[in-house]
Amino acid sequence: MTSKKRVYLAAPLFNEMELSYNKSLANKLSQYFDVFLPQEDGLLLRDLIRSGLAYEKAERMVFDADIQAMQESDILIAILNGGHIDEGVAFELGFSYATGKRCIGFKTDIRQALPSGNNPMINQSCEKIFDSEDTLFKWIIKHYNPAPTRPIK
């Protein structure tokens, strides 16, 4: 029996809409992959601060937890929506690319900062960039998980 590939889902997580969408996408991916979603599986800075931790200590804990999760992942899927790509996502993408991980972009948003599209550092870090869930799922399952556990809902 082959174990599932581990996916790190890099996504902005600063409002309810983003959090909800991220969770929905992670749930769909988890049918085929072992998914690390920072908002669910990692540490959130706002929660650590609320618990009384000093800001610098809380930042280091979030950073270290996410670095470890990226190192343990096989694939990074970066949500690239927005006129400007979330700076945390940009870092996670660059780090994962530099450490030899397979990096895939996902952008359904037509807004872009440059007339030519994404910054070249983003585009060149991604093996492919998809603009629909359907094409993302078909491609990633075909290339990284030939034996799905159940159909996508």
Question: What residue ranges do the domains of the chain occupy?
Answer: 6-144
Structure-token match 């993408």, residue found: 93
- Write phi, then psi, for 42 (nearest 5 degrees): -110, -155
Q: CA-CA distance, 138 to 145, in Å (whole number)?
A: 10
**One pLDDT digit (tens) per residue for the chain, 153 residues:** 458 999 999 999 989 999 999 999 999 999 999 999 999 999 999 999 999 999 999 999 999 999 999 999 999 999 999 888 999 999 999 999 999 999 999 999 888 777 777 888 999 999 999 999 999 999 999 998 755 455 555
Record the pTM. Answer: 0.90
Q: CA-CA distance, 65 to 69, in Å (whole number)?
A: 6
Q: Under CATH, to which class is 6-144 assigned?
A: alpha beta
Q: CA-CA distance, 27 to 23, in Å (whole number)?
A: 6
Tokens at residue 89, please? Answer: 């996502």
| Encoded amino acid at 149, one letter | T
